[in-house]
Amino acid sequence: MTGKVYLIGAGPGDPELLTLKAHRLLIMADVVLYDRLVGKEIIDLIPENAEKLYVGKAKSLHSLPQDQINSLLAEKAKQGHMVVRLKGGDPFIFGRGGEELEELIEENVPFEVVPGVTAAAGCAAYAGIPLTHRDYAQSVRFLTGHLKDGTTDLPWEELVHPAQTLVIYMGLTGLKEISQSLIRFGMEPSMPVAIVEKGTTKEQRVFTSTMKDIYDVATKNEVKSPSLLIIGEVVTLQSKLEWYGKY
């Protein structure tokens, strides 16, 4: 009998951001394939008798290529297992969940998607940065700083807008190019920027600066991945909202 695959968003790190459904399914799993960005406290929730398979990816270092992960999900489900694919953040926001589901459909394997708190929402909230605000930003745009071909070639002209918040995932490696390109296409060098490192976890660090100086700030403070880049006037609210949020 064929089992089933549950594609679950684990959120950005804090285990209390797991949905009730995600938690229920995780503690029932036979097999769990988990990513590098899944927090240790969440991994600790996996049942002791479940098969745990690490399939994480770092820059230029994949423990398992994506096509093999896709095949493994189908294989484990066809063996009759309840398979949980645990992904950091939300599976459908830069999580490659769609690619995995395409393989399952081809293999006639049943599946279900359980959304998770994406890093943009979780990290911004924990850092005290509202992604939208009636006075500062009427839209928000999520982008990845690491494209499929390894470049950081984004639609720069579309991104320079005064009433828009930009949230860039995986933007640390290309941070210098990102800041220089946005300024070259018209963004004010004084535009507020925040970097949230290891957001929602106990190791979270938040650095705010300007578009012109953010690369130097990140270098000086030895910021590491995973880090999220938030660009826009809403960042000016960070110090006030974060401070009051601690009470």
- CATH number of the domain that 199 lies in? 3.30.950.10
Last residue of a domain, one of 76, 98, 114: 114
Per-residue pLDDT of the chain (247 residues; tens, 9 = 90+): 789 999 999 999 999 999 999 999 999 999 999 999 998 999 999 999 999 999 987 655 556 889 999 999 999 999 999 999 999 999 999 989 999 999 999 999 999 999 999 999 999 999 999 999 999 999 999 999 876 666 677 899 999 998 999 999 999 999 999 999 999 999 999 999 999 999 999 999 999 999 999 999 999 999 999 999 999 999 999 988 875 555 4
Query: What is the number of domains present in the chain?
Result: 2
Q: Is 35 a catalytic residue?
A: yes
Are residues 135 and 238 located together in one domain of the fold? Answer: yes
Backbone angles phi, psi at 172, to 5 degrees: -70, -45
Q: Report d(CA 37, CA 6) in Å as an integer.
A: 18
Contact status, residue 108 vs residue 5, Cβ threshold 8 Å:
no
Task: State the helix-helix crossing angle for 66-78 and 97-106, rounded to 10 degrees.
Answer: 50
Same domain? 235 vs 125: yes
Q: Residue 145: what pLDDT? A: 87
Pair (84, 137) in one structural domain: no
Q: In what order do the strands lie in the sheet with 31-34?
A: 51-54, 31-34, 82-87, 4-9, 111-114
Does residue 37 share a domain with residue 151?
no
Dihedrals phi, psi of 28, to nearest 5 degrees:
-105, -5
What confidence score (pLDDT) does residue 241 get? 82
- Whether residue 226 is preceded by a cis peptide bond, meaning omega within 30 degrees of 0, is yes
Domain extent at residue 47: 4-114
Burial 73-94 (b: 16+ CB within 10 A, else e): bbebbeeebbbbbbbbbbbbbb
Instruction: Say how many Å lie between the first and final Cα of the chain, rounded.
Output: 53
Same domain, yes or no: 192 and 235: yes
CA distances from 173 to 36, 160, 179 (A): 17, 21, 12
Residues 6+ apart with CB under 8 A from 146: 59, 152, 170, 171, 173, 174
Same domain, 110 and 124: no
Which one from 4, 30, 52, 57 is the annotated catalytic residue?
A: 57
SS3 66: helix
pLDDT of residue 150: 62
Whether residues 106 and 131 fall in one domain: no
Question: Do both 123 and 193 map to the same domain?
Answer: yes
Catalytic residue status for 90: no
Alpha-carbon span 22 to 113, nearest angstrom? 10
- Please report, for the domain that includes residue 91, its CATH number: 3.40.1010.10
What DSSP letter does each residue of 146-196 carry, written as one string? Answer: S-TTS-----HHHH--TTEEEEEET-STTHHHHHHHHHHTT--TT-EEEEE
> Out of 14, 35, 87, 198, which one is annotated catalytic?
35
